[in-house]
Structure 1
Amino acid sequence: MKNCSTSVAVALVLGLALPVLAADKTQPVRMGSGLMTFDTTPGWGLGPDGKSVIGPCHGGVVVDKDGNIYTSAHAGVFVFSPEGKALRSFLGDKYSDMHDMKIREEADGEFIYGARNANAEGIKFNARTGDIVLKLPFPTESGPKPEKFNPTAITVAPNGDIFLSDGYASDHIYKFDKTGKYLMHFGTKGNGLKEFNTAHGMTLDTRYNPPRLLICDRNHAPKGRLLHYSLDGEFIAEVVTGLGMPTSASVQGDYVSVPDLHGRLVILDKNNTIVAVLGYNADPAKGGNYNIPQADWIEGVFSGTHGSSWDKDGNLYVQDWNVSGRIMKLARVK
């Protein structure tokens, strides 16, 4: 696999990461390159008063088959129309603090799978009704219960097997069947080739046949990277290095969007080459900073990029890790 530590620098030199800043927050900002060119959508997801709807957030984004956007925050899960109108929400202790989410259409409806780091569990619930149908606490069959179990990522295999990454604790990745039965776990904490130093994000990489796990090794030294593992927990390859602090990954077709906590989002093609860098924050005091209030947001510049997802038209929805609750729509330029 290609090592892309130099690709990031090349992208910056070429200007792929630098949006054309608008004079005010009401004007869209164009960013990206070539096929991966986007315009921001000013005010998307804000309430009638112009303020954030979701509140403090440290979560993910998914899009259902109707094009509605779900994003998780401290208070719960919020649902928006493609135009940015708040439709409904799932709030309270049952839905709070979903650090990562995936959505899956199944025989009896669409379901959201969530990794709840602060609540030490994985969860599955109906995307329409909010009914919780499965919980995944620490699997005691896997060994002694640890002092801390902090799941950060979740994904689902084609056959329904569920993978839950304990990215803020052991760095083990636990595999369950679709009923929640523990099957196995893999992964070792460390900084070696086949080890994880914060297995923070994870998705099913459908660009390959058979599909495989794409795992964000966020704190790998000297900079974060992406890894491929088989669905049986076998190491395949180091995919990309030099990515800063990759927090999650979302696949559509041949492309992968990878938010970087430093304040940018990179897009990789089928060859895992960086083809666009979006929302680059050149201010080291603000990139990777949770405490940027809404009054200080800059259109087209990210601060703590954490979650992303594509819709069927190739638009991107991006969430910052942010004290005020920032969710953005990047409209694909045709």
Structure 2
Amino acid sequence: MTSYFPKSQKDPHGLIVGQGNFQYKVDAHWGQLDPNQTPVENCHDMVIDAKGRIIMLTDNTKNNFIVYNKDGSLAEAWGSEFPGAHSIEIVNENGEEFLYVVDHGRVLNRHWDGKSTDEWDSHYNKVIAQQGFVAKLTLDGRLVYTIGHPMTIGIYQPDMPFRPSDITVAPNGDIYVTDGYGSDFVIQYDCHGRYIHHWGGQKNEDTNYNLINTHGIGVDIRNPDDTHLIVSSRWEQCLKLFNFDGSYRGRIDTPGAYIHGPVFSGDNFFAPVCWSHINDENAEDSGFISVFDKNNKVVANLGGTEPVYQNGKLQTMSSTWDVFKHCHGMCVDDEGNLYVGQWRGNQSYPFKLSLI
């Protein structure tokens, strides 16, 4: 098959990234498919099912779900219901796997002027915002239920947007949704999608509870006696730790990194970084992946500068500009290899990073 890689993106195939025990060889060709048959826009998130297949979520409604075999070949592609497809979680419930899908509400604009990509309030931007939703699906795509705007259950006012960004499921089945492009709350539901509690937002008397662009969330189960949530407050360049009832317990600063939520693997977790903070702004094409140890200390940056601590404080991190544009979704297989999708990656397919 002819190799496909966008001419406007440098091909990093074969590069070695990372530091210490976390060094990987980049395979930029692993997930390439025929874009005429199986197109992508943004490769927003990735999970692995019980068969070892890698499921990638894209906001191209010709095929929201692209399912790869482990060798990078196409198993199947399907789905057209999620124009703002942004996050996916796979959960085994009593022996059956389900997909939880987050649509953040941005849709391709049929009136796009062909130029504007960052004029979010323009009627002629490439994407325009509507309200988002969450859906629970069977593994083959049958709808179980949806969770809609919190206004409909009385916890949001009509002028408060709901544009969710991520989802995680606790060991007891409770669902936690981050409204990272809307009103910046974490909303807790039970396993049937019934509202329990919410917290966050940007205007708390105790600023520890503030969340600003709360992009990602995950359940930290590394210590079974002390499970809790890790939530990104991306615009604050940090991760915040909460108990399941929403009470605050700590913060992990990630200076220089507009960081997403955690992806756990053994004693470690990985967190994609969409942009580096350079010259007092989020710099274009400056993503990387941070690796945290069991003590929540950064031990490597894949495609980024080596982490340095001085007097116990992490110094500013940044992209090395040689691999990624904007890291977004990722997953880890049972051999420790990574699969990475990108936002604004020039419609490129996921990369595989093989542990060396």
Q: TM over 0.5: same fold?
A: yes
Matched with 1:12 is none
Deviation of 1:275 after TM superposition, in Å, equals 1.3
1:194-220, Cα deviation, whole Å (9 max, x unpaired): 211111111111123331111111001
Percentage of pairs with the same residue: 27
RMSD of aligned alpha carbons: 2.4
Matched with 1:316 is 338
Matched with 2:354 is 331
Matched with 1:181 is 194
**Structure 1 residues 312, 230: closer, same or farther in 2, change over 3 A?**
same
Matched residues in 2 for 1:152 and 1:159: separation? 22
Give the counterpart of 2:28 among 29, 42, 51.
Answer: 42
Deviation of 1:95 after TM superposition, in Å, equals 3.5
Q: Which amino acid aligns with 1:271?
A: N
Where do residues 189-204 of structure 1 align in structure 2 (5 Å cutoff)? 189-190=202-203, 192-204=207-219
Matched with 2:141 is 130
Q: Which amino acid aligns with 1:206?
A: I
Instruction: In structure 2, list runs of 5 or more residues that go unmatched.
Output: 1-9, 106-130, 276-286, 306-317
Where do residues 223-234 of structure 1 align in structure 2 (5 Å cutoff)? 224-234=237-247
Residue 209 of structure 2 contacts residue 248 of structure 2 at CA under 8 Å; is this kept in 1? yes
1:34-83, Cα deviation, whole Å (9 max, x unpaired): 32121112311112x58894421151111112211111111212111111
Matched with 1:88 is 76
Matched with 2:44 is 59
Matched residues in 2 for 1:27 and 1:241: separation? 28
Residue 141 of structure 1 contacts residue 182 of structure 1 at CA under 8 Å; is this kept in 2? no
SS at match of 2:336: coil
Matched with 1:111 is 98
Matched residues in 2 for 1:330 and 1:152: separation? 25
Higher relative contact order (CA 8 A, sep 6+): 1
Matched residues in 2 for 1:110 and 1:318: separation? 22
SS at match of 2:42: coil
Deviation of 1:237 after TM superposition, in Å, equals 0.3
SS at match of 1:261: strand
Q: Which amino acid aligns with 1:105?
A: N
Matched residues in 1 for 2:35 and 2:30: separation? 10
1:131-174, Cα deviation, whole Å (9 max, x unpaired): 11121112324243444210001000111100111111111111
Q: Which amino acid aligns with 2:350?
A: I
Matched residues in 1 for 2:218 and 2:15: separation? 29
Instruction: In structure 1, list runs of 5 or more residues that go unmatched.
Output: 1-23, 282-286, 289-297
2:188 corresponds to 1:160: no
Give the counterpart of 2:88 among 86, 90, 101.
Answer: 101
TM norm structure 1: 0.80
Give the counterpart of 2:228 among 205, 212, 215.
Answer: 212
Residue 174 of structure 1 contacts residue 184 of structure 1 at CA under 8 Å; is this kept in 2? yes
Q: Comparing 171-180 with 111-120, which one deviates more in the overlay?
A: 111-120
Matched with 2:133 is 121
Matched residues in 1 for 2:355 and 2:73: separation? 19
Residue 265 of structure 1 contacts residue 279 of structure 1 at CA under 8 Å; is this kept in 2? yes
TM norm structure 2: 0.75
Matched residues in 1 for 2:260 and 2:41: separation? 17
Residue 46 of structure 1 contacts residue 53 of structure 1 at CA under 8 Å; is this kept in 2? no
Residue 43 of structure 1 contacts residue 50 of structure 1 at CA under 8 Å; is this kept in 2? no
Matched residues in 2 for 1:36 and 1:78: separation? 28
SS at match of 1:219: helix
Q: How many residues align?
A: 289
Where do residues 155-304 of structure 1 align in structure 2 (5 Å cutoff)? 155-190=168-203, 192-208=207-223, 209-220=225-236, 224-262=237-275, 263-280=287-304, 301-304=323-326
Q: Which amino acid aligns with 1:87?
A: A
Q: Which amino acid aligns with 2:228?
A: R
SS at match of 1:314: coil
